[in-house]
Amino acid sequence: MAALTLTPRALYEEVAELLRQRIFNRELAPGSWIDELKLAEEYGISRTPLREALKVLATEGLVTMKVRRGAYVTEVSERDLADVYHLLSLLESDAAGVVAARATDAQLEELQALHAELEAAVADREAFFAVNERFHMRLLEIADNRWRDQMVADLRKVMKLNRHNSLLKSGRIQESLQEHAEVMRALLARDAPAAMQRMQAHFRSGLEAAI
């Protein structure tokens, strides 16, 4: 295989992003050993930036480093998922409450437009997941707390390790869409307590589908 051409920016950062996407796309499956020599050859780089990239992914929870055994794609246990969903529920429900109380009309229209995209993507699981993530990320941006945003971004990376399982459950996409509609109604009504409750319910259902 021909070596990939990488841009001049920090090499380990680009390698980390390449590996991150391969993990999310299941090209590197949970529990699989990461062959450093093979990847270094494939990317046309030395093992030093590759190892730095793996350290980055390890801090994100996507890779597990094992003494004298190398790096493995993290396997997420039911306990891990429960912990991640619990924290996301707390953080994102708080953000929903803030948005309901403080968002401008224009910002709520943005979220409503994203919800319409979500409805249109219901027949395509991958498209639905992508729009769903954009909705959640935009809601967080509007809530405007960079520390919360950073925590949510890290937690969502771990959640993505299991995303296919959660959306494969029969009827889950329709359930998720209905939950989003309820969140959206609460936001438009500027009902902060209801928005928080609906977002918490959304994450409870997501966890039930994921395990």
Q: Whole-model pTM? A: 0.78
The rounded distance, in Å, linking the Cα atoms of 78 and 29 is 17
Domain boundaries, the chain: 11-73, 78-210
Q: CATH topology for 78-210?
A: Four Helix Bundle (Hemerythrin (Met), subunit A) (1.20.120)
Strands (E) across the chain are located at: 63-66, 70-73
**Per-residue model confidence as pLDDT tens digits over 164-205:** 555 567 688 999 999 999 999 999 999 999 999 999 999 999
List all residues 6 or more positions away from 16 whose beta carbon is below 8 Å from its beta carbon.
52, 53, 54, 56, 57
Q: Supply the pLDDT for residue 166.
A: 58
Pick the CATH number of 11-73 from 3.40.50.2000, 1.10.3720.10, 1.10.10.10, 1.10.287.130: 1.10.10.10
Q: Supply the pLDDT for residue 172.
A: 86
Q: Supply the pLDDT for residue 159.
A: 84
186 close to 194: Cβ distance less than 8 angstroms: yes
Tokens describing residue 125 = 């699981």
Q: Supply the pLDDT for residue 139.
A: 98
Q: Supply the pLDDT for residue 8.
A: 47
Q: Supply the pLDDT for residue 36.
A: 92
121 close to 131: Cβ distance less than 8 angstroms: yes
**Positions in the chain whose pLDDT score sits under 50:** 7-8
Q: Supply the pLDDT for residue 191.
A: 98
207 close to 82: Cβ distance less than 8 angstroms: yes
Q: Supply the pLDDT for residue 77.
A: 86
